[in-house]
Structure 1
C-alpha cells in the first residue's frame, strides 16, 4: 500500500464542517455584532416597504425555523415573483429557497439559490458573506475542491480576512487536492485565530504532515491529542499507523503497548500484525517482529501471523518454537499458502532431528502445487536434510 493511499484510509477525513450560522431567521430584526469587521462593504439599506410583503416573508421564515418547508415554499416564491417586493426581500426569500434545498440534501439547488441571493448584493454583511462560506462548504461536500477554493478566495477578498472556520475549510480543500503544505498553512492560520480550535482541524494537519512524509510532526500532533484525550481509540490507531508508516516502530510499539486496553481485538490484532511486518523488514528486527506477531496471535482469526512468526523463528535457529507456531498456523487455517506452511513445518522438525514428523509434514506439502517440487526434493533425500540459513529463507 502506498503512503498516499494509506493516509487516505488512515484519516478518511470527511470533516464535519457544519454550515456557519446565517441561514436561520430571527422573528424580529436585531442588531447583530459584525462577523466581518474588516469588510469595506457597508450593510445595504432594507428597501422592503410593503407591510404585506413583510408579513408574508416573516411567516415564511417562521415556517422555515419550524422546519415547515411546505408552508414556507409558496410564500417565498410569491415574494420572489413580486417585482415590487424589493431587493432585500427577494434576496432573503431566495436564501430561504436555498435553505429548503439544503434541508432536502439538494446541494446543487442550495448552491444555486445562495449564489443568486449573494449576487443580489442586498443582504447585511453577516448573511451576505456567510452565504459564500456555506457555498464553499457544500462544494467541498460534493468533492468540488477547486470550486470550493475559488469561492473561499472570493470570500477572503470580500471580508478582508474571514473566520477561522473558513481557513479550516480551505485547509481541507488543499488536503483533498494533495497540496499538503498549503493545507498545513491554512489549518495553522485557522488555529491561530480561533479561541476554540476544532479537534477535526488537527486531523487534517496530521494527515497533511503524513502526506509529506513528516511523520515526526504528524506523530507529535497525535501525542498531544492523546494527552488531552487519554485512551481515545481512534487517536491510538492513527498514531500507531503514522509511526509504522514512518518506520518509527519503537514509537509505534510504545504507543500500542501503553494504550492497548482502549482498542478492540480486531484493531489490536491488525496493529500488532502491521508492527510485526514492519519490524521484519528492518535489519536486526526479527526478534521484535516475532514478539509483535506473538501478541497478535491470540487475537487472530486465521493462522497468518503464526505462519509469519514460525518463518522468522525458523530463520533464526529456533526450530522447536517454529514447530509450535507453524502447527498453530495450520490448525487455525485461512492460510494463503498452506503448502509452504507444511514445508516449513517439516523443515523445523528436521532441524530438531524429528525425521518422522518432518516427513509427515513434507508429504502433506506435496498436496499443494506451490510446494510439491520442494517437498519431493526433501523426501527423496530419505533422511535428515541439512539446510543453510540462506536455503531456509529461499524455501
Structure 2
C-alpha cells in the first residue's frame, strides 16, 4: 500500500522536475529494494503495534489514494495526537499531511510537514531521504534556490551519493543562480548516474553553456538530440538560435538547409532573416547576408527582407541586382519606410546610368516624409547624379 504518486509537475524555465514519492507504508511481508544502498543509516524498527492505529493509518492512506483528502485529514490528525501511536505512525501521518498540503498547492505547509516527518527519524530510508529530495524540489519551485541547495547537501551527505534526479535538481538550482559551471558539473554528474538520462536535463546543460558563451558546446548538445529525433522542428529552431547568439551563422545556416523539410515557411523565413541580419553585422559578411536574405525572400509575406537585401547589394556595388530586388520589395509592400526604398531604387538606377528611372523613383520618394528631403536634393542636382558607394551609405 502506498501514498499515491505525486502528479503535479514542478516547472522551471527549461525543465520540469516531478516529485519523487517513495512507498508511504509497506506491509510486513513486503520488502522494498533500497533506493539508497550507500546510506549508513539503518532502517529504523517499525514500532507500529496498535491494531487500531494500524487500521486508522491504512484507512487514511487508502483515502489519500482515492483523492479523499478531507476524509483522510482527521484520521491522520487522530494518529498524530495519539502519544501511544509510535514514532513510525506519527511520521507517516505527518508525511500524509504534507501530501494534503502539497495537493492544495500549499508548498510552505508541505515543506513544514515533510521536514517534521523527516526530523522524527522514524521512516525507512527510501521514504526518509526522498522526503529531503521533495523538500528541495518545492524550495526550488518557490525560488528559494540556496535553501534548496542546502537541503540537497543534507541529502547527499545522508545518502552518501544520492540519485541522479538529485544532481539534476542541484544543477537547476545553480543555473537559476547564474552559477553555470557548477550547473554543468551537476547535470553531467546526473547523466553519469543513469543509463537513461532525462533528455530535459540537456536543457539546463545547454543553457549553462550558453551562459558561459560556449555556444558551440550548447549547439552540440542540441544536435545530439536531433540525431536521436531527426526532423524535430523545435530542436532545430533552438539550435539555430543558439548558434546565431554565438555568431556561428555558418553552422546555423547549414542546420536550416539540412532540415528544411521539417520546418514550416514562417519558421524558415524567420531563421534565414536572423542569419542574414547577423551576417550583415560582421566584417566582410555582406555577401553571406545577401545570400541568406535571398533564401528568406520567397518565404516572405512583406518586402522587408528584400529591402535589406537591396540595400546591401547597392552598398556593395551591385546596383543592377539591387534595382530588381528593391522593386520587388516595393511591390510586395508592408515596408516600414517605403520612401527610403524608392530613394534607394533611384540611387541604384542612377549607378547604372539609367537617369530616367532614377528620377522617377526619386520623385516617388518625395511623397514620403522620411525621404522627402533626400529626394529633393537628388532631383535638384539635375541629370545624372554621380555617387560613390561611401556617399550612398552616408545619404541613407
Normalising by structure 1, report the TM-score. 0.91
Describe the superposition over 1:193-251 as per-residue Cα deviations: whole angstroms up to 9, x where unpaired: 11211111122112211111112222222222222221111221122122222222221
Tell me which residue corresponds to 1:4: none
Mapping of residues 302-341 of structure 1, within 5 Å: 302-341=302-341
- Look up the match of 1:216: 216
Q: Name the structure 2 match of 1:5.
A: none
How many Å apart are 1:315 and its aligned residue?
A: 1.3
Aligned pairs for 1:1-395 within 5 A: 13-22=13-22, 30-394=30-394, 395=396
Q: Specify whether residues 298 and 29 from structure 1 end up closer, same or farther in structure 2 by C-alpha distance, changes over 3 A only.
A: farther
Q: 1:166 to 1:208 in 2, by over 3 A?
A: same
Aligned partners of 1:44 and 1:122 also within 8 Å: yes
Of stretches 82-91 and 205-214 in structure 1, the one that deviates more from structure 2 is 82-91
Residue 25 of structure 1 and its aligned partner are, at CA, apart by: 5.2
Distance in 2 of aligned mates of 1:254 and 1:363: 42
Q: Give distance in 1, aligned partners of 2:367 and 2:118.
A: 73
Distance 1:314 1:242 in 2: 31
Deviates more, 1:338-347 or 1:363-372: 363-372
Cα distance change on mapping 1:112 and 1:266 into 2, 3 Å: farther
Deviation at 1:276, TM superposition (A): 0.7
Report the 3-state secondary structure (helix = DSSP H, G, I; strand = E; otherwise coil) of the residue aligned with 1:17.
strand
Instruction: Provide, for residues 59-104 of structure 1, a one-character-per-residue CA deviation record: whole Å limited to 9, x for no partner.
Output: 1111212222232222222222323322211211111122122223
| 1:167 CA drift (Å) | 0.5
Report the Cα distance in structure 2 between the residues aligned to 1:14 and 1:109, rounded to whole angstroms.
26
Contact 2:296-2:305 at 8 Å conserved across structures: yes
Distance between the aligned counterparts of 1:136 and 1:204, measured in 2? 17
Superimposed CA distance per residue, residues 321-352 of structure 1 (whole angstroms, 9 cap, x where no aligned partner): 22232233333333333332222122122223
CA distance in 1, matches of 2:387, 2:214: 43
Aligned partners of 2:322 and 2:268: how far apart in 1?
23
User: CA offset at residue 23 of structure 1?
Assistant: 6.1
Q: Judge conservation of contact 1:57–1:76 (CA < 8 Å) in 2.
A: yes
2:259 is paired with a residue whose SS is helix
Change (3 A) 1:101 1:302: farther
Cα separation, 1, equivalents of 2:210 and 2:90: 47
Question: Is 1:276–1:290's contact at 8 Å kept on the other side of the alignment?
Answer: yes
Q: What displacement does 1:109 show?
A: 2.4
Q: Structure 2 vs 1, CA of residues 71 and 27 (structure 1 numbering), >3 Å: closer, same or farther?
A: farther
Q: Which runs of 5+ in 1 are unaligned?
A: 1-11
- Distance in 2, Cα, partners of 1:144 & 1:299: 46
Q: Write the deviation string for residues 356-376 of structure 1: whole angstroms up to 9, x where unpaired.
A: 433333233334433232122
Distance 1:219 1:372 in 2: 46
Structure 2 unaligned spans of 5+: 1-11
Change (3 A) 1:200 1:256: same
Asked if the contact 1:27–1:58 (Cα under 8 Å) also holds between the matched residues in 2, the reply is no
Give the CA RMSD over aligned residues: 2.0
Aligned residues, how many? Answer: 384
Instruction: Indicate the residue corresponding to 2:9 in structure 1.
Output: none
| Distance (Å, rounded) in 1 between the aligned partners of 2:393 and 2:62 | 75
> Aligned to 1:205, what secondary structure does the other structure show?
helix
**CA 1:123/1:287 → structure 2, altered by over 3 Å: closer, same or farther?**
same
